[in-house]
Structure 1
């Protein structure tokens, strides 16, 4: 039976029950009045008044008023000459009408709230399920259209189904229910759903306990997102493999070129020709250094960003560097974590190595942080010669710098993956000062 037919059948039953109760109540009171019973039987009018005002709240007031007037008209002939009976009849009629009005008003307010929540339930872009705990286990009591579509089913077909039919692994429900019982609510629970066509769907699930013991589940379909992530991962893996092959071939070609240049310098004594070979060798060395640097960054963006303890990242970065005996590294970033690409250690190793290589008079590098209104700043400062004003922005461009290095360019690219920025704000002649800006949702103090 469809929902429309069920609604029509229920409407017919309500009208029958309401009509029957009105007839029975009037008949009982007529018999009572003829029998001299005028105190108990009028209370039977509360039954049709409550039913009518609750089932048809917009007609509840005239319906209850009609019953009150009917009772009054029925009672008046028996109250003639009996003042007290007349007062009782009028008082009861007023109470009947008042009760009908109050129940109609309360029911209308309740229906408005029900319609509001029903609208949210039915029109939500998330799949929503109401789960009831029955004697034979948890069952789906209600499901909206989005939730039913997510499972390849209909709302009617899902009603009464065991909750375990949602999950590809039935044990997931027991684990989820244990978390709900412990915490009351669960957010961001990623799971695999089982569709009626035999397929599966990935979903992000949230759940909470309702009054009365029920559970509300909301499911957001992330199948397309997961498929896109997997496609992107495979594409990145292929590009990474291509990068490795290209790096290997390019490095081999540069090595052969350098060997040929060296052999040429041994064979020819002409000064002009040797100067040409030396310039060619320097250019080849630049290409070789860039090849070596790009090898370190071929995995950039391959792994997803994660929360990283900055102090540990710096310790790991400095352990791989050759720090001159006259240079000290001090980092004061304990308890700070940032959401960054796994290659964050290359950022700090580049900045420290850049200070040692180009700072000339550097004796110390200090790393600190400061919480700002718009996020957080990490400072990497040294006491070297600093950066000239005209180079403060250019040093982050591709290919700028002595020796053809790419360190600062790639440093900016690594940070940009998680919306961090970097700039140089030091004073020339007093030292370099690199400022890494972290957005408000990109850091935490543990």
Structure 2
């Protein structure tokens, strides 16, 4: 409602100024024609022509045409129809219309760009601020509704406030400004703003340089996201603690069970009973191994993923494994992939599986190739391979002599960053595990 009143008041003021300029120009030209002055004073008519075309571009040409007709009538009235004066007046009238057409076109384009900017600025879901130099330092020159609401203020109250005062740490603004001066822009800087009521708001801030030493600053509220992440981390920490306690209790129970089984083997000599006790012992050992594996993977997905040099990961893994008579050659220099911090478990499991189940394995080779839909890392051995019917089942939970946790968790680790794995080797010639890395998930440095 207030904006409508302001537009109406501006329109009335412009109409008043335009009418005054027309009246003054015509009075001056009438006086000039009476005095015989016909060259200088007609230029006064350009003022209302330009004002009308700029302020009311859709009516600027019509206005200039009417003004030209009025000027022609004035010339005919005061010169008595002198041919030379009439021709000169017609030429000026044509120039009036041409000037109005050019100014109207430029004004329309300017307004279209301004409306586009205003629509983007006002309707953006991000808080947007224009920061300009001020006497006491950089100040908020303009802000949209989202930005003002983010800080618990109105756009009117926000204008003129010192930019550094918006941050919980005032030094953050100086750091942002320095980075903008250095590189021209800042993107996705996570920081904390301070609302008028003292509540902190976590935001992603981006900023860039504008003409006139101004800076455009945009903020995206991530408070809910960071709170959810914190709650998730706390929940995961509690679940980990519960899992650790449960695993310790289970390990203690299995150890006690193995002790009783060992006592039973010493006590009974009957072959049937001894076979039964041995089967119980093997089952207990499987439970024990599963508990040990889950200990290794208790932090799966808890730490943020990041870029990892594959060659370095493989080198560290092989240095910790016992590989008698087996060579591991990796040709993955300069390759980095975006993966969970537990990527080393992937390669250690694949290499250990080759050693444990390949029977005739003498070498493991790790290579990569770039495809149209990403990149493939191959871990290949020269062992007995895997039968066709078992290629997919080996990744299922609970399959295999070791309980199937190794390859099952390998797939889960890779899936965190949208990687997949499959077995493509030839039975009798060796196993080959192919890890598919999606576009954007790898880089060659």
TM norm structure 1: 0.96
Distance in 1 (CA, whole Å) between partners of 2:407 and 2:41 is: 94
| Kept after mapping to 1: 8 A contact 2:75/2:81 | no
Secondary structure of the corresponding residue to residue 365 of structure 2: strand
- Name whichever of 23-32 and 308-317 sits farther off: 23-32
Q: How does 1:20-419 map to 2 (within 5 A)?
A: 20-80=20-80, 82-324=82-324, 326-419=325-418
Distance in 2 (CA, whole Å) between partners of 1:273 and 1:81 is: 136
Q: How does 1:413-428 map to 2 (within 5 A)?
A: 413-428=412-427
Distance in 2 (CA, whole Å) between partners of 1:297 and 1:346 is: 9
Distance in 1 (CA, whole Å) between partners of 2:13 and 2:137 is: 31
- Name whichever of 228-237 and 148-157 sits farther off: 148-157
Deviation at 1:390, TM superposition (A): 1.3
| Kept after mapping to 2: 8 A contact 1:76/1:89 | no
Deviation at 1:4, TM superposition (A): 4.2
Secondary structure of the corresponding residue to residue 368 of structure 1: strand
Distance in 2 (CA, whole Å) between partners of 1:242 and 1:345 is: 25
Cα-to-partner distance string for 1:243-302 (whole Å, 9 max, x where unaligned): 111111111110010011111211222222222111111110111111111111111111
Query: RMSD value over aligned CA atoms?
Result: 1.7
Distance in 2 (CA, whole Å) between partners of 1:282 and 1:412 is: 27
Count of residue pairs the alignment pairs up:
445
- Name whichever of 140-149 and 6-15 sits farther off: 6-15
Structure 2 unmatched ranges of 5 or more? none
- Name whichever of 332-341 and 204-213 sits farther off: 204-213
Distance in 1 (CA, whole Å) between partners of 2:16 and 2:136 is: 35
Secondary structure of the corresponding residue to residue 423 of structure 1: strand
Distance in 1 (CA, whole Å) between partners of 2:244 and 2:392 is: 31
Deviation at 1:130, TM superposition (A): 2.0
Deviation at 1:212, TM superposition (A): 3.1
Distance in 2 (CA, whole Å) between partners of 1:345 and 1:417 is: 14
Distance in 1 (CA, whole Å) between partners of 2:350 and 2:181 is: 50
Deviation at 1:156, TM superposition (A): 2.2
Deviation at 1:5, TM superposition (A): 4.3
Distance in 1 (CA, whole Å) between partners of 2:168 and 2:403 is: 54
Distance in 1 (CA, whole Å) between partners of 2:356 and 2:105 is: 81
| Kept after mapping to 1: 8 A contact 2:391/2:423 | yes
Distance in 1 (CA, whole Å) between partners of 2:68 and 2:159 is: 42
Deviation at 1:364, TM superposition (A): 0.7
Distance in 2 (CA, whole Å) between partners of 1:431 and 1:38 is: 103
Cα-to-partner distance string for 1:36-83 (whole Å, 9 max, x where unaligned): 222111111111111111111122122222222222211212322532
- Name whichever of 426-435 and 96-105 sits farther off: 96-105
Distance in 2 (CA, whole Å) between partners of 1:436 and 1:71 is: 83
Secondary structure of the corresponding residue to residue 57 of structure 1: coil
| Kept after mapping to 2: 8 A contact 1:80/1:86 | no
Distance in 2 (CA, whole Å) between partners of 1:245 and 1:228 is: 25
Secondary structure of the corresponding residue to residue 428 of structure 2: coil
| Kept after mapping to 1: 8 A contact 2:76/2:82 | no
TM norm structure 2: 0.96
Deviation at 1:433, TM superposition (A): 0.6
- Name whichever of 36-45 and 252-261 sits farther off: 36-45
- Name whichever of 7-16 and 399-408 sits farther off: 7-16
